[in-house]
Structure 1
Amino acid sequence: IADWQQITGYFNRLDAASDRISVKEIGKTTLGKPMIVAFISTPENLKNLESYRQMSQKLADPRQVKSQAELESLIKNGKTIVSISCSIHSTEIVASQMSMNLAYELVTANDDETKEILDNTILLLIPSSNPDGINIVANWYRKNLGTKSEGTSPPELYHHYAGHDNNRDWFMLNLRETQNITKLFWQEWFPQVVYDVHQMGQNGARFVIPPFFDPPNPRIPPLILREVGLVGYKMAADLQAANIGGVATNTTFDTWWHGGFRSAPYYHNSIGILSEAASANLMSPVVITRDKLVKSGRARGLNSPLETATNHPDIWEGGTWRPIDIAQIEMTASRALLQLAAKFRPRYLRNFYELGKANLERQKDEPQAFIVTAGQPNAETVARFLEILMWQGMEVHQMTRELEIVPDRNKPNDFGEIPLGSFLVFTNQPQKNNVLSLFERQVYPQRLNANGEAEVPYDVAGWTLPLQMGVETVAAWQIKDLAQHRNTLRKIENSNQARKILNLKVTNGSFQALPNPLKSKPKIGLYRGFTSSMDEGWTRLVLDNHRIPFRAVTDADFRRKKLDYDAIIFPSQSEKEIVEGLKAENYPAEFSGGITEQGVENLKNFVEKGGKLICFDDSCELVIKRFNLPVKNVLNNLKRSEFYNPGSVVQLKVDAGSALSKNLGENVAAYFINSSAFEITDTNKVKSVARYAEKDVLLSGWVLGEKYMNGKTAIAETDYGQGKIILFAFRPQHRGQTFATFPFIFNALEK
């Protein structure tokens, strides 16, 4: 296994030895490691990289192309810009190792196919978009070779904050790695094709590629969906020609959700490809028996990995599965993509341009603009929201005079005034679909299986960003006398320009930490076990981003009663995960065992003596049970045919009289992702601070069986001995996106 120093060292040596590759650093990781991209093409193309970058930039914004002759020149002379990115999930390690082989092959081979690829494409090869994780996994794997822990996942998140969720950050841009690659893609190079190389579980199909499963997002252009499918079928055909079985299409992964590495490009008029290869045990081979394949169960679109189907015509019967098998498949798929990009270069460039051009024309179901209204109390959040939009290439304008707009499409003659100082985002810009998909409320189709059960989507159903962040926006279906007033709109060029308008201090650099919102100075502990909780990581990110000091509370701290804190936060983790932790049969004693029953008793003692315990979502179940609280989760044991909410924005009704509700309105948008809904059986002991709305609880996404959560408690608090317990039925810091509910956390932490 090669660690990040070895991978970057290899690429730098390849750069020194060949004129077909140029390695550049694009920024630092969260932990300060260099992130690199290898530009691979002919020597002549690499000498003129800046010229080709400008061509791609012009094609991405048709307003810059002044004539048909200029367009034809760009298509004739431009190159298809392709990015292949490896191992964002660093336990899916093989692609990072494969990247070195792919680079070597492209810079040394002299066959006609390779020459055609190099002549017609510029490859942006990213050996890993998570270098910190590559080191974590490599070090853990080496340390445990030949032990019971060989091939296991490390007992820590393989991204400092996000772990596996680092591929859920591609519209929010919380992470340095996401910010760096977003800048590379959507501020600089504008790739026509982005390929994100992944692995999955061991016991299903050997390789899953496009076309993807339903449903598609209605804001993805149909041409993009067709092109995605075309690339997938080329990969599948080449793999079949190489007699590689177990390749499946049209299964498991859909194109509904926005925020992934391969799904974000759809909203930039680019083709996004995801592949998922069956995993080994990191870099150790595994034996997959036929019985394991039988027991793997049904996936969406694939009844069994042992069943022949049109989308899975050649089954894999089982046997030894090695990292080299994975690498061979990924190499073949990468070459298939590059062949298409080279052979049909003019087609990809023209389609890219035409998609952007089409976005400049307004359609009947689209507002003219979205407006972030002036005078909102949360100026720092508004500034961060605008920075997120602009970083991924959206155009934002300041209104320097009042404008009259129609906010309701059903009342075309009812104009209302919007104050100067507001920010306006036109929909008719090359990134129209990105604008719409982030501002609009998602309406996920109700998809039920033959048993009436909700079909589980790939990720979440709704994500409307202004709702999640608590930013007030209004759709402008018509702007009165826009032509007359257009010269009063001032384009915002950078985030500091927006900050000045909002009367905020300018910052040095992008995405800087926000001011600490706490008035007091509590001693805060955050539970951090060894089961690699992403929710714990996101909680750390929110605290760090708001400059709130805290310390990690470990399993050993709970066992030894080292709980000298004013408040302890439990992120969303199950009772079993917290109490029992990792299994001793797979992990050394220092990492296994959880907080134990003794730790639970010590936790109870901490609260009884005056401590504050704050629980998010799943961790509430432990506390309700062990502290014998008169609260129950009414959603427990409901069938998926009765209730299902896989990730949606919902409405809370808030008790304004509670200290937890300070600086919050009566209505607050919260994020619900397979979360809880509480019923309090003794209101003398437990108080409801916020409830899910009595009706119309869904703001964006999908909920089946809304009646089960209507009016139920979403935030509860109770005294326990001399201390206090605060229960969040949802995750108020979900993926670092839900700025609207962050104040609940801050209020809960105050002394």
Structure 2
Amino acid sequence: MMRRLSGLLLSLCLFPVPAFAQSKPCTVSDHPEYTNKIKEFTTESFFSTELVDHLPLSSCVPPPDAFLHHIIGAPDTLDYTKDINAYFRLLASKSPRVKVWSIGTSEEGREMLVAAVSDEANFAKLDRYKEITARLADPRGLSEAEAQKLIAEGKPMYWADGSIHSPETGAPEMLMELAYRLAVEDTPFIQKIRNDSIILITPIVEVDGHDRMVDIYLQHKKHPDKPPYPLIWWGHYVSHDNNRDNLGVTLALSRNMLKTYLEFHPTVMHDLHESVPYLYIMTGTGPYNAWLDPIVISEWQEMAYHEIEEMTKRGVIGVWTHGFYDGWAPNYLLSIANNHNSIGRFYETFGNGGADTRVRTLRPSETSREWYRPNPPLPKVKWSARDNINMQQSAILFGMNNVASNGQKFLSNFYLKSKRAVAKARTEGPVAWVFPADDSRPAEQASLLNLFVLQGVEVHRTERELRLRATESGRDPDAHKEKSAEMSAEKSAGKSPDDAKSKEEKKPAETVIRAGSYVVRMDQPYSRMADMVLDKQYYNVSDPRPYDDTGWTLGALRNVKRRAHAQSRQNRCSRRHRRPGQNLPHPAQYRQHARDFAFPPRFRSHGSRGRFLRSRRPEI
């Protein structure tokens, strides 16, 4: 009976009931029991700051321990997805400073959510702030004066997400305490974040794998005499590479996060990871992705060094940057932001693969003092889950405060990156990528173009035949392969170089683009995203060892014809061009021969995606 009653009470917490009007005003005091536990579970004072060495107690909003029956970062304790989500909904039901939305489900039906924490006045204008970020994301037709007014009126949005990698268990716990602290604490530091920005939180990205990890961890705690079960895979058979799905967008978590990004257009998207000691803040060693706007690379540096300096000033050791990730590949979860003109970044904190407290011994390469690691980790340390919580939460609070304090600068940079992406056709080229109507692989062509639509890239279709002079017709990324094959064939046939020269002189003086061909223009907000995946990547042999993938040319991967065109012509494309939310139709050939294609395109509805992108008369 008690179990039934507790289940009923929990279900009531799952809905944001309008119970904000209290008989007495909310008061905030110290929470001595929680604060004492924080100090008990923190192994060294230099693994904490004044931002997180305590927890306030609200008379209206329940702290984490009141719901979970343990403090965040308690040893030997992890929470399931349903309990973490329920706590966020409890916060939303008790505080007007918290809102929660479902953003979709996983392959196994577990819910993913996004919570927002901000001042009540900001929530009253939330739709307006979303409209502003969407307009800055697509500045076509926006005058400079109008843009500056929007920047002055808008609020930056900072989106933190946790545990895309299931063995990295600290962030989902930390984000619960962070949300509570942001909602109830009234220090000037926290008020600045709450008043001048909108914080978005997705506590668990890989919800299926997280629950498997908790199962395995708690099972081992019950039977410590037995070897722990290995987490062989998590999610739906992808494991660690679920953080390599931003280009293919094959997983539910990738689609849910992309959809949410395109709804809010957050200024910053911040992934929380665990691996190296004690806190690595991403900037990259280079080589940097050649298609990213250089502004974002500068923003990575500025934000990282601000947080390193603030942590180091407080005596926190082991906070560093540079010597880990390179900045080349665009297929991570954080690339959703970077590829759409926002700021994508990540932390790596020291993790123990659960909530154990362990003595850890480091390699000399991890403890040397370097220009990028001014206060290095110790060779040997006792490390706890609470140490991890303290480091993550302190640093991200400094990051959030930095964005809130300089909101107009970050919004201005976002607008400028979007504006420069639209200008790319004129300033950098190419003007457009063309996919011919007569491609012999129409299903793969449709699948690739639908992937662009999913990413928010606009796709047009030509209404009539276009003819471009040879000097305007641009480049075919596969032309060298065809030429090499042709030369080999001619050599085998005994033809002389003079024959090849004669053939070269007979090349057509123009390129014909058939009616019905698809066009991805480069004068649109997400031009860099499209150009990045269609062009070739050249990872220099003299560059440092790559952190991850070195190439991702999707057209070649799918064996789809495509051609970059370098100069503009005033020819007409279809006005019914494809925007986010519209899928390309099945080619007739594909309907008849669907079984012949290994990866048939999927045609789903994505109605909310990119709804703020503005329509223009399409011409190339």
* TM-score of the aligned structures, taking structure 1 as reference length: 0.62
Summarize the Cα distance change of 1:23–1:64 in structure 2 as closer, same or farther, 3 Å threshold: farther
Q: Which segment is superposed worse, 273-282 or 495-504?
A: 495-504
Paired letter, 1:122: I
Residue 223 of structure 1, aligned match among 295, 319, 324: 295
Q: CA deviation digits over 1:396-454, x for unaligned, max 9?
A: 00112111233346999942001111110011211121121111000112236xxxxxx
Matched, 1:344 2:406: yes
Paired letter, 1:197: L
Give the gaps of 5 or more residues in structure 1. Answer: 295-303, 449-454, 506-513, 519-541, 547-751
Contact 1:210 1:231 in 2 (8 A): no
Residue 112 of structure 1, aligned match among 159, 182, 188: 188
Aligned to 1:445: 540
Aligned-residue offset at 1:129 = 1.0
Contact 2:442 2:587 in 1 (8 A): no
Residue 437 of structure 2, aligned match among 374, 377, 386: 374
Q: Which segment is superposed worse, 242-251 or 20-29?
A: 242-251
**Equivalent-residue separation in structure 2 for 1:545 and 1:221 (angstroms):** 31
**Equivalent-residue separation in structure 2 for 1:6 and 1:184 (angstroms):** 22
Task: Give the secondary-structure state (helix, strand or coil) at the position aligned to 2:382.
Answer: strand
Contact 2:337 2:343 in 1 (8 A): yes
The structure carrying a bigger strand percent of its residues is 1
Paired letter, 1:213: T
Aligned to 2:528: 433
Q: CA deviation digits over 1:244-286, x for unaligned, max 9?
A: 2112211110111110022342221111111111221311122
Task: Give the secondary-structure state (helix, strand or coil) at the position aligned to 1:157.
Answer: coil
1:303-382 paired onto structure 2 within 5 Å: 304-317=365-378, 318-361=380-423, 362-363=425-426, 365-382=428-445
Aligned to 1:388: 451
Task: Give the secondary-structure state (helix, strand or coil) at the position aligned to 1:45.
Answer: helix
1:56-455 paired onto structure 2 within 5 Å: 56-65=133-142, 67-145=143-221, 147=223, 154-186=230-262, 188-201=263-276, 205-289=277-361, 292-294=362-364, 304-317=365-378, 318-361=380-423, 362-363=425-426, 365-405=428-468, 406-408=472-474, 414-447=509-542, 455=544
Aligned to 2:578: 492
Paired letter, 2:413: N
Contact 2:159 2:200 in 1 (8 A): yes
Q: Which segment is superposed worse, 399-408 or 326-335?
A: 399-408
Task: Give the secondary-structure state (helix, strand or coil) at the position aligned to 1:272.
Answer: strand
Aligned to 2:84: 7
Aligned-residue offset at 1:73 = 2.0
Aligned to 2:112: 35
Paired letter, 2:281: I
Contact 1:248 1:312 in 2 (8 A): yes
**Equivalent-residue separation in structure 2 for 1:135 and 1:446 (angstroms):** 42
Paired letter, 1:93: T
Aligned to 2:550: 461
Summarize the Cα distance change of 1:152–1:253 in structure 2 as closer, same or farther, 3 Å threshold: farther
1:580-595 paired onto structure 2 within 5 Å: none
Aligned to 2:31: none
**Equivalent-residue separation in structure 2 for 1:356 and 1:23 (angstroms):** 29
**Equivalent-residue separation in structure 2 for 1:153 and 1:255 (angstroms):** 34
Summarize the Cα distance change of 1:419–1:474 in structure 2 as closer, same or farther, 3 Å threshold: same
Paired letter, 2:414: F
Aligned-residue offset at 1:229 = 0.8
Aligned-residue offset at 1:147 = 4.0
Summarize the Cα distance change of 1:100–1:373 in structure 2 as closer, same or farther, 3 Å threshold: same
1:671-710 paired onto structure 2 within 5 Å: none
**Equivalent-residue separation in structure 2 for 1:98 and 1:437 (angstroms):** 35
- If asked which structure has higher relative contact order (CA below 8 Å, sep 6+), I would say 2
**Equivalent-residue separation in structure 2 for 1:262 and 1:515 (angstroms):** 34
**Equivalent-residue separation in structure 1 for 2:352 and 2:573 (angstroms):** 60
**Equivalent-residue separation in structure 1 for 2:421 and 2:353 (angstroms):** 45
Runs of 4+ residues over 6 Å off in structure 1: 410-413, 542-546
Q: CA deviation digits over 1:18-40, x for unaligned, max 9?
A: 01110000111111111100011
Summarize the Cα distance change of 1:153–1:206 in structure 2 as closer, same or farther, 3 Å threshold: farther
- What CA RMSD, in Å, does the superposition of the two structures yield over aligned residues? 2.6
Task: Give the secondary-structure state (helix, strand or coil) at the position aligned to 2:88.
Answer: helix
Task: Give the secondary-structure state (helix, strand or coil) at the position aligned to 2:563.
Answer: strand
Count residues in correspondence. Answer: 491
Summarize the Cα distance change of 1:24–1:101 in structure 2 as closer, same or farther, 3 Å threshold: same
Aligned-residue offset at 1:359 = 1.8
Q: CA deviation digits over 1:621-672, x for unaligned, max 9?
A: xxxxxxxxxxxxxxxxxxxxxxxxxxxxxxxxxxxxxxxxxxxxxxxxxxxx
Summarize the Cα distance change of 1:3–1:543 in structure 2 as closer, same or farther, 3 Å threshold: farther
Contact 1:256 1:461 in 2 (8 A): yes
Summarize the Cα distance change of 1:110–1:441 in structure 2 as closer, same or farther, 3 Å threshold: same
Summarize the Cα distance change of 1:68–1:287 in structure 2 as closer, same or farther, 3 Å threshold: same
Task: Give the secondary-structure state (helix, strand or coil) at the position aligned to 2:576.
Answer: strand
Aligned to 1:665: none
Task: Give the secondary-structure state (helix, strand or coil) at the position aligned to 1:208.
Answer: strand
**Equivalent-residue separation in structure 2 for 1:246 and 1:272 (angstroms):** 22
Contact 1:246 1:305 in 2 (8 A): no
The structure carrying a bigger helix percent of its residues is 2
**Equivalent-residue separation in structure 2 for 1:545 and 1:91 (angstroms):** 33
**Equivalent-residue separation in structure 1 for 2:226 and 2:310 (angstroms):** 34
**Equivalent-residue separation in structure 1 for 2:572 and 2:195 (angstroms):** 44
Contact 1:255 1:263 in 2 (8 A): no
Q: CA deviation digits over 1:197-219, x for unaligned, max 9?
A: 10115xxx312113221111111
Matched, 1:472 2:561: yes
Aligned-residue offset at 1:150 = 8.2
**Equivalent-residue separation in structure 1 for 2:580 and 2:181 (angstroms):** 41
Task: Give the secondary-structure state (helix, strand or coil) at the position aligned to 1:288.
Answer: strand
Task: Give the secondary-structure state (helix, strand or coil) at the position aligned to 1:486.
Answer: coil
Task: Give the secondary-structure state (helix, strand or coil) at the position aligned to 2:112.
Answer: strand
Give the gaps of 5 or more residues in structure 2. Answer: 1-77, 477-503, 603-620
